[in-house]
Amino acid sequence: MADDVRLWMVERSYDTRNLITVVYATTDGDRYHRKELSATMLSRTDVTAAVELPRENLESVDDEQRRQRYATEATRMAETHAPDEAV
């Protein structure tokens, strides 16, 4: 869609409740989307290098250090992976 934005995976973490959190961000680091998956769901779903989501579903990154980190990692992912590549 015209209002969809491509985001690249910038972070993946695991917690004690067996949840996996995946964060996708824009290459400028300004916007992000956080997704939580159970370990069971992860075994049935590919986590791809990039996703496309409607702009209105994205959150703003308010912290400058986080924005820079997201921009660096999103750019690295965009340069080294195809958007639909499982990572």
Q: Quick check: is 52 in a domain? A: yes
Q: Quick check: is 86 in a domain? A: no
Q: Quick check: is 40 in a domain? A: yes
30-85 pLDDT, tens digit per residue, is 999 999 988 777 778 889 999 999 999 999 999 999 999 999 999 999 999 999 99
| Whether the predicted pLDDT of 21 surpasses 80 | yes
Angle at CA of residue 67, ends 55 and 18, nearest 5°: 80
Where do runs of H (alpha helix) occur along 13-63?
39-44
Burial class (CB in 10 A: 0-12, 13-18, 19+), 26: buried
Collapsing DSSP to helix, strand or coil, 6 comes out as strand
Q: Quick check: is 87 in a domain? A: no
pLDDT at 45: 82
pLDDT band, residue 2 (cuts 50/70/90): low
Domain count, the chain: 1
Please give the helix or strand (H or E) that residue 25 lies within, else none.
strand 19-25
What's at 31, amino acid-wise?
R
Q: Quick check: is 16 in a domain? A: yes
Q: Quick check: is 85 in a domain? A: no
What b/e readout covers 13-22, taking b as 16+ CB neighbours within 10 angstroms?
Answer: eeeeeeebeb
> 49: domain range?
4-80
